[in-house]
Amino acid sequence: MKKSLLKLAFVVGISVMMTSCYTFTATVGNGPKTGEKIVAHNHYVIAGLAPIATANSKELVGDAKDYSITVSHSFIDGLLAMITGGIYTPTTVTITK
């Protein structure tokens, strides 16, 4: 019984450690040209179901025609979600012009 419980704990531990951070990238136009980065944060509750505050990408981009938007769960975002038990789940938005 102890060995099977230990094996299960090991498999679960390895599975959790092998997951990667969520990242989504969208490229607009011909992609970033200058390399200028703007970082903002989205704030959600209840595992991302209800937004508290989200970054307005149109305001952050300005009049740029070529850029990319990356939305990701960084290590810190995941740590905050884990500490709060999924009640607060932030994401990081990076716009590269």
Is 42:91 a contact under the CB 8 Å cutoff?
A: yes
CA distances to 1, 42, 68, 77, 80 from 14, in Å: 20, 29, 33, 21, 21
Helix residue ranges per DSSP H, 1-97 = 2-17, 57-61, 75-83
The mean of the pLDDT values for the chain is: 86
Claim: this prediction has a pTM higher than 0.75: no
Q: Give dist(CA 76, CA 38) in Å, integer.
A: 18
% of the chain beyond a pLDDT of 70: 92
Span 17-63, pLDDT tens digits: 655 567 889 999 998 888 899 999 999 998 888 999 999 988 999 88
